[in-house]
Structure 1
Amino acid sequence: MTTSNQNISAKIDIGISETDRLKIVQGLSGLLADSYTLYLMTHNFHWNVRGPMFNTLHLMFMAQYTEQWNALDLIAERIRALGYPAPGTYKEFVKLASIQEIEGVPKALDMVRHLVAAQEATARTARSLFPAVNDANDQPTADLLTQRLEIHEKTAWMLRSLLEE
């Protein structure tokens, strides 16, 4: 018995309209761009940190960029599951990201300040998607956003703690 390829549909029918999927994907693409920019910034700071807090920050930044790297796949795969290509070039990320790249090598505590701002910006980007996600009844994306928010807010708090006297 053979199965006809005509019975297999490439059309996505997951209960979310194409219009809603596109709106969510546009938001997720911005989140992916912010997340990649944050990953790159954190990894850069890991490589280039110096000073009395070197070991602490070097190890902290490594844990943060590793977590961020793993998140990139989750976000990109959600975009793909919704039926669209995920952005994946520097050119696209620069255009989509709300986070600006940092030039040069800041002092250690300035690195921390930049990372607090970037973590918070990424959290704001994730949070801004909830209206579209809730309107579309898209629980998997809502779950992903909730997980990302928890991590970005906690990381920002931990980094911010280093700046307190």
Structure 2
Amino acid sequence: MAVVADCFTIGSVVACRTCYDQDIEGEVLAFDAHTKMLILKCPSSSGDARLNDVNIVNLALVSDVQIKREVSVTPDAPQSLDLHRLDTRVKKQIEDKRRLVSALSCVDPEGQQLFLAISKTITDVTWSGQNIQVFNHVHITPPYKVENIRGDPDSKQFVYIKKVVERHFKECAGGPSQSP
């Protein structure tokens, strides 16, 4: 393991060799001395000069660290991210990630799996406490079985969600782990 400096100056250029013999070189965006985590802004792997890759490096797992260029003046604090300027695709990706993170919080694994299965085909699915809420009209309560679906049973949305839930449990029961 390489000897790690107590601090890396933001804006400096650092090169690291990981334990997988991968070389990473980039500009220091942040460094946490306590956890020895270094965040580097590197040229884009896509080759697009307008883009950058961001690598988070655990310095406990590197074999060599070199400071290629040290800066003496600390740059100004970065501007906050303007979410209004992001295109709709990125906003949708952010919202999808938020929904998936909320699916993993304080809910039993069966509920998480059902939520993820529904969210693959329906974007209007959220958590309402422990309940899965779909289309704001259909709710699935624990233990997340077909008989726990609540809503207007005559609505198209209810019927569709019921089919999705039935298909999910059918696929779980007939999965590869259960085959003879």
TM-score where L is the length of structure 2: 0.25
Q: Which has the higher contact order (CA 8 A, sep 6+)?
A: 1
Greater share of helix residues, 1 or 2? 1
Larger Rg: 2
Greater share of strand residues, 1 or 2? 2
TM-score where L is the length of structure 1: 0.26
